[in-house]
A = this chain, B = another copy of it.
């Protein structure tokens, strides 16, 4: 594990992305999202992804130099054709357009299609919040969730993020709709432990405590039909309305790395600066946080937190002390860069 500065990690990530064929400014954009992922401590969705992005670029499943096209269909709505470019690049382009439109109109929506995995959602919410925008941002994903009452995966474990600008730090909720990620089930299998029957179903759609049966089955969405409904709403906004693929039309990255996924994303922004002064907002958000922080805790050693608070704490610490990156991830980035040099 190495501690590396944000600037240095950004340089390494940009160079590696450039080495896979991206234009310099595009590599810079995509690196920004991934480095923020690492800054938040979400290393599974950080620069470690560049290696697999590179593999898909090499196979032609992602286009290194896409011809992205923005079409404004209303004063505050744009459609973005990502031309099968790298997800975080399409995402940054969409976010920038959404911020520009929301600055003019107050609210904005950008719908992106022909895209790919766009990284973690929290960085987009964070960048929007820093400019004073509240945001609701989501993406669809290849299918891993069965509808309530069904026994075949027809929905993705779609991520959705919400951000509100705050006093010193924003409030950010970045979540997928499953109770847990598949990785937690794999961990239980490795340890030879059963799982709670609320995490997943077997292949027949029946709740199971057997991690092996769960991995052959489907992730359970939070709150049963409510989480199923949320997954479906995210796909309607991200996939159906954007003109992208949706539900089972989304290509699986792992099964067909050479085929475009045609993922979709949506970015809905509200310019909070129009609602009141920075002081008004800061005072209300500080009070809001205080009320939650002062809740008597179940365990006195574990005070009540707000969503995103751990990640934002990690970000601040890593900005001071350096970002902790696994040695093999750094080595992979350097290998990608030197291969093309």
Contact = CB atoms under 8 A, between A and B. Distances in A.
Interface in A230-281: 230, 232-233, 236-237, 240-241, 243, 246-248, 268, 270-272, 274-276
A172 to B, nearest CB: 9
B298 A204 contact: yes
Interface string A167-203: 0000101010001000000000000000000100000
B109 A109 contact: no
A75 B296 contact: no
The A contact surface, by secondary structure, is mixed
Interface in A287-319: 288, 291-292, 295-299, 302-307
Contacts of A304: 147-150
Interface stretch (A59-67, A82-90, A100-108, A332-340): A100-108
A49 interface: no
Given A147-B295, A175-B226, A204-B298, 20 more contacts: A73-B275, A74-B271, A75-B106, A76-B76, A105-B106, A107-B108, A134-B236, A136-B136, A149-B295, A149-B298, A149-B299, A149-B302, A152-B296, A154-B295, A164-B237, A173-B226, A173-B232, A175-B229, A228-B307, A241-B272
Interface of A: 73-77, 79, 104-109, 111, 134, 136, 146-152, 154, 162, 164, 171, 173, 175, 179, 198, 204-206, 222-230, 232-233, 236-237, 240-241, 243, 246-248, 268, 270-272, 274-276, 284-285, 288, 291-292, 295-299, 302-307
